[in-house]
Amino acid sequence: CRQKGISTITTVEKTGLIIDGNALYYSLYYTSDPKLDQRCGGDYPRFKHEVCKFFKTLQDCEVNPYVILDGGSGPEKHEKILSRLKNKLKKAKTVAETEPDGTLPKAYNVLPPLVKDVFIETLREKGIEFKVCLGEADPEVVSEANQKQCAVLSIDKDFYIFDWKKEEDGKIPAKIYTRSKFVEHFKLDPALMPVFASIAGNDYSRLEDNGAFAKESSSPGEYSIKRLDGMLGFLSKVNLDGLDDSQKRERALSKALNHVGKKQNQTFKLAIEKYVKPEKTSSKLPPWVCEKVERGELTTFVTSVVDWKTILLTPLVENFSQRSSYTAAYRIRQYFYGLLTEGVITEYGRDGEEIKDYCVPSIRDEQKKLKLKDLHKVLRLIIKYRLRRRVFEEALQVQTSDLENIPNQLKLPVCVTVFWFKKLQHHPKPETINCLHALLLWFVCEPDGPG
């Protein structure tokens, strides 16, 4: 939208609005003034305040939001996601090693681990309509925007919004981008937009052209802009006479690949198809689980475990000379995997200063009596209380019969403390000691804690 003529200055009021939820919570956390904490686990109360302010502004301008959030990504994006994970690890290490008043490189932001959970919790509290997708949110966003005939709010595509704090006379100043304006400006056939996206570079594909397109551009600015401008110029000159949309895309892709000496590649065709026929993600999960994920009542963690047998442990800002903090909860994750599925789960997490994969066998003891498709009956008290209690006891390796004289509000904290204390006795590792110390410190210092 830096090009003149492809966006329109407007105001937002009395309308529906589809919101890219992931883009919004990233933006709100990273652009807050003053800056929100990223070094010490996150500043969730202030982040919640930022979220509330944002939706209050929309409410004041009679804007009806519908928030759509990503669920997870399938194996087709595995390499891209792994690359991002390594980049996040690098940023987390830099943030951890920088003094609190030091200067970080531009864009060196690390999202605290519970930001998405706090965001969803706040949406629910405020009665904001939202949905968590089982996979990529893009197809859902496109479908809802077309169905409701309204714009999409995002930080990187479809809809650009100025500082929402600058509400004027019940209206929000904004800049709206439309595909029709874009193709008109660059004299591009609309059918070729998916081709442009696939060769320019997205989560699925990117055409490595060794600077060929940038050299053909007369556009001022940095290399990345010249490259995109060169691609658009090239595609606009492809002869498409007498072809239908599918044939236009096939010819344009073939010409672009030949132009830089590349052979036909199925990767680009699959990437194009995702734009032409966006499909909503399905899941192997039972319907009751899918419904809870979409309502934000269950984490999308479960879809990754059941559908892909994979879990990504997002890098944390921590002491990189010690083992990953995730190590401390290894057994609890094993038990959680056992509730969801059988076999081995592949975890991707930090080992020193690198991302490595680990094969983690799930634990299935009393859980064998529980099938995931019927697990919701546990919540309805259809399955005997004794079995539910035994599953809980196995997870934390405690005997709830020993807790009869403990007040109800203290039973879970006591169980967790016993779990960490036993771990400390058998595995006196730094991460176990740190977890136990942090828990005890919370008991003493937290005004709303169990004490």
* Residue 274: per-residue pLDDT: 80
Mean pLDDT is highest, among 118-132, 156-170, 366-380, 425-439, for 118-132
d(CA 304, CA 263): 34
Is the peptide bond preceding residue 34 cis, with omega within 30 degrees of 0? yes
Q: Where are the domains of the chain?
A: 7-180, 188-276, 287-396, 401-451
d(CA 333, CA 255): 50
pLDDT tens, 29-64?
999 988 899 988 899 999 999 999 999 999 999 999
pTM beyond 0.75, yes or no: yes
Under a CB-based contact definition with an 8 Å cutoff, are residues 171 and 164 in contact? no
Environment class of residue 402 by beta-carbon count within 10 Å: exposed (0-12), middle (13-18) or buried (19+)?
Answer: exposed
Mean pLDDT value across residues 219-237:
91
3-state SS assignment for residue 110: coil
pLDDT tens, 79-88?
888 999 999 9
Higher pLDDT, 108 or 116: 116
Mean pLDDT is highest, among 250-254, 272-276, 279-283, 390-394, for 250-254
pLDDT tens, 126-171?
999 999 998 888 888 888 888 888 888 887 543 332 334 445 566 7
Least confident of 195-209, 313-327, 358-372: 358-372
Q: DSSP characters for 1-38?
A: --STTSEEEEEE-SEEEEEEHHHHHHHHHHH-SSPPP-
Pick the CATH number of 7-180 from 3.40.390.30, 1.20.1730.10, 3.40.50.1010, 2.30.33.40: 3.40.50.1010
Mean pLDDT value across residues 209-213:
89
* Residue 366: per-residue pLDDT: 54
Reported as a pLDDT band with limits 50, 70 and 90, residue 19 is: very high
3-state SS assignment for residue 232: helix
Higher pLDDT, 118 or 380: 118
Higher pLDDT, 190 or 366: 190
Which residue stretches of 135-286 are H helix?
138-148, 179-186, 193-200, 212-215, 223-236, 245-259, 266-276
* Residue 159: per-residue pLDDT: 36
Mean pLDDT value across residues 106-111:
88
For 311-323, give the secondary structure using H, E and C. Answer: EECCCCCCCCCCC
Mean pLDDT value across residues 216-239:
91
Q: Residue type at 415?
A: C
* Residue 168: per-residue pLDDT: 58
Reported as a pLDDT band with limits 50, 70 and 90, residue 385 is: low
Mean pLDDT value across residues 14-22:
92
Environment class of residue 343 by beta-carbon count within 10 Å: exposed (0-12), middle (13-18) or buried (19+)?
Answer: exposed
Report CA torsion sign: 334, 335, 336, 338.
Answer: positive
299-338 per-residue burial string, b: 16 or more CB within 10 A, e: under 16: bbbbbbbbbbbbbbbbbbbbebeebbbbbbebeebbbbbb
- pLDDT averaged over every residue in the chain: 84
Least confident of 155-159, 169-173, 345-349, 364-368: 155-159
